[in-house]
Structure 1
Amino acid sequence: MTDPFADVPHEPGAPKPDPIVIADHVHRHFGGLTAVDVEHFEVQRNQITALIGPNGAGKSTFFNLLTGFDKPQTGEWQFNGHSLVGTSPAKIARAGKVRTFQLTKALNRMTVIENMRLGAADQRGEKFFQALVPGLWKQREKDITEKADVLLKRFKLYEKKDDYAGSLSGGQRKLLEMARALMSDPEMIMLDEPMAGVNPALTESLLEHVVELRDEGKTVLFVEHDMHMVRRIADWVVVMAEGKIIAEGPANTVMANKAVQDAYLGAHHDTDLSEDAS
């Protein structure tokens, strides 16, 4: 298979051959503190891109800006060639770009299957007058439930389908959130620290699911602190520090970059980015 990054320069803001996301001049500050100051950013379609950086680098804020959960002072960004400036998170999700959160947003007092149904699009029963006529939405609800069952089996949560989401472990809630995101058939999934708080037994499962998403033709952009996991699954790595993108490239190239090492070692003196540490 041809490497789409073969001719992409290993430098900040590098143009990609088929970007699904393009962002320009995105700036977000809180008072006198600059959280995000990104000149140019592209995400290659159908690949796994990792967004890494030390704590306080601006990664999660940048995620929030790209998904409509926060608004910048300046900047513009596109998804599939269409501007998303000023677009609500719900409309961005309907356009085919969904996200998960560092702290899972599972609705704890609803069952697992009810959480899954919430992720589906085109739910006719949500409209008041149509809800009064079961014949208009019963078949769609059946289809949604069947799709949810398939995903729950895939993510090994089917036996928990009637349990309250609040009874799941932290790792299982991460799996539920990822499965729920797939209910809308998105083109792109953005994962904010998908491995955070997950025990080792479920970490492997999550990693496998992320790779499967790419193999199915979806685009994945994820934030992660564990460099060994980034090296294992990321096709391309983007590094942020102090709100700016300071490096891009394959994992091993980026982790040998002196600017990246300085950024990490300045924040984490015990961080080892070398290949030998894996």
Structure 2
Amino acid sequence: MPADINAAVEAGDLEVAAGPIIVGNNITRRFGGLTAVDVESIEIPRGKITALIGPNGAGKTTLFNLLTGFDRPDSGEWAFNGRSLAGVPAFRVARLGMVRTFQLTKVLAKLTVIENMRLGATAQRGERLWAAPFRALWSSQEQEITARADDLLARFKLDAKREDFAGSLSGGQRKLLEMARALMVDPELIMLDEPMAGVNPALKQSLLGHVKSLRDEGRTVLFVEHDMDMVRDISDWVIVMAQGQIVAQGTPTEVMADPKVIDAYLGAHHDADLSEVEQIVEAEVLEELGQTEGEQP
């Protein structure tokens, strides 16, 4: 990985297009005395499904926010398709082809499902102040956008909800709507923040199928998830964070067997003899009850 991303791009590095879709160096984010993210280097492989995992508070969502322009780092540099994203606002990042969903869905509850979908499209002529009064200038484009939205709603099995208010959808249906709306941009990279959180088992299988289909279309997927069964099922690559740092990465099989990953989730003393732990706990309980050795119940 080049030490200076911009210098590599300016030098015409031919590997940029074929290499990782995201490359980052020395990314840090602090909140007062707390260092939430301290990532020395990160690479997201192109055309693959990458899982970003780690215990609560590891810095996963903060890193998501930094990469997508929803937050500013204290230091560091990163690039998407060889283009530096330092200081680029979130809406411009999305226009470049990198979109994200949120753990808590961001649907517009008082608009219908189809209206939410139309809003996902970019470069709409009807949104320009000077063109808005002249329907003839943008009506054909709106028809094309609506047709694309209807195709996506059918794909995500939301076509029956087309005219319903988005606020009336279930939690799982809102996740589907967010994913479908993200595809209105025709993105190259889709970032999903805990896509399975709060989703019932029936819709979970549907969401899994849709995530896999994104990879089959040649898109890149990066997602945050706590469901290890899902991570094993669909991930090509796994990155593990703990205390703001990347502690391991590799295939799901490699990562699940890595002692550093086990320590991150279970603590450094996960290998203590269970019988000894049980004996200690039992002794403490008996002591609390006044039934330690030498005392009668």
| TM-score where L is the length of structure 1 | 0.90
* 1:236 matched residue in structure 2: 237
Query: In the TM superposition, what is the alpha-carbon distance from 1:18 to its structure 2 partner?
Result: 1.6
* 2:49 matched residue in structure 1: 48
Matched, 1:18 2:19: yes
CA distance in 2, matches of 1:114, 1:253: 44
* 1:172 matched residue in structure 2: 173
CA distance in 2, matches of 1:139, 1:261: 56
* 1:225 matched residue in structure 2: 226
3-state DSSP class of the match of 1:197? coil
3-state DSSP class of the match of 1:156? coil
Matched ranges for 1:3-14 at <5 A: none
* 1:199 matched residue in structure 2: 200
User: Which segments of 5 or more consecutive residues in structure 1 lack a partner in the other structure?
Assistant: 1-16, 270-278
CA distance in 2, matches of 1:74, 1:25: 7
Query: In the TM superposition, what is the alpha-carbon distance from 1:210 to its structure 2 partner?
Result: 0.3
CA distance in 1, matches of 2:239, 2:129: 45
3-state DSSP class of the match of 1:225? coil
**RMSD in angstroms over aligned alpha carbons?**
1.3
Q: Tell me the amino acid that sits aligned with residue 43 of structure 1.
A: I
Matched ranges for 1:227-266 at <5 A: 227-266=228-267
* 1:74 matched residue in structure 2: 75
Deviations 1:12-50 (A, max 9, x none): xxxxx7201001100001000010000000011110000
* 2:34 matched residue in structure 1: 33
CA distance in 2, matches of 1:144, 1:265: 48
CA distance in 1, matches of 2:45, 2:74: 26
Q: Tell me the amino acid that sits aligned with residue 237 of structure 1.
A: V
CA distance in 2, matches of 1:77, 1:199: 36
Deviations 1:133-166 (A, max 9, x none): 1111000000000000000000000000100000
CA distance in 2, matches of 1:61, 1:129: 38
Query: In the TM superposition, what is the alpha-carbon distance from 1:132 to its structure 2 partner?
Result: 1.3
CA distance in 2, matches of 1:82, 1:18: 13
Q: Tell me the amino acid that sits aligned with residue 214 of structure 2.
A: L
Matched, 1:95 2:92: no
Q: Tell me the amino acid that sits aligned with residue 205 of structure 1.
A: S
| TM-score where L is the length of structure 2 | 0.84
Q: Tell me the amino acid that sits aligned with residue 226 of structure 1.
A: D
CA distance in 1, matches of 2:215, 2:107: 24
User: Which segments of 5 or more consecutive residues in structure 2 lack a partner in the other structure?
Assistant: 1-17, 271-297
* 1:135 matched residue in structure 2: 136
3-state DSSP class of the match of 2:267? helix
Matched, 1:85 2:86: yes
Query: In the TM superposition, what is the alpha-carbon distance from 1:224 to its structure 2 partner?
Result: 0.2
Query: In the TM superposition, what is the alpha-carbon distance from 1:251 to its structure 2 partner?
Result: 0.5
Query: In the TM superposition, what is the alpha-carbon distance from 1:121 to its structure 2 partner?
Result: 1.2
How many residue pairs match? The answer is: 253
Query: In the TM superposition, what is the alpha-carbon distance from 1:266 to its structure 2 partner?
Result: 2.9
Query: In the TM superposition, what is the alpha-carbon distance from 1:129 to its structure 2 partner?
Result: 1.0
Bigger Rg, structure 1 or 2: 2
3-state DSSP class of the match of 1:131? coil
3-state DSSP class of the match of 1:120? coil
Q: Tell me the amino acid that sits aligned with residue 33 of structure 2.
A: G
CA distance in 1, matches of 2:41, 2:77: 10
CA distance in 2, matches of 1:131, 1:122: 13
Query: In the TM superposition, what is the alpha-carbon distance from 1:122 to its structure 2 partner?
Result: 1.5
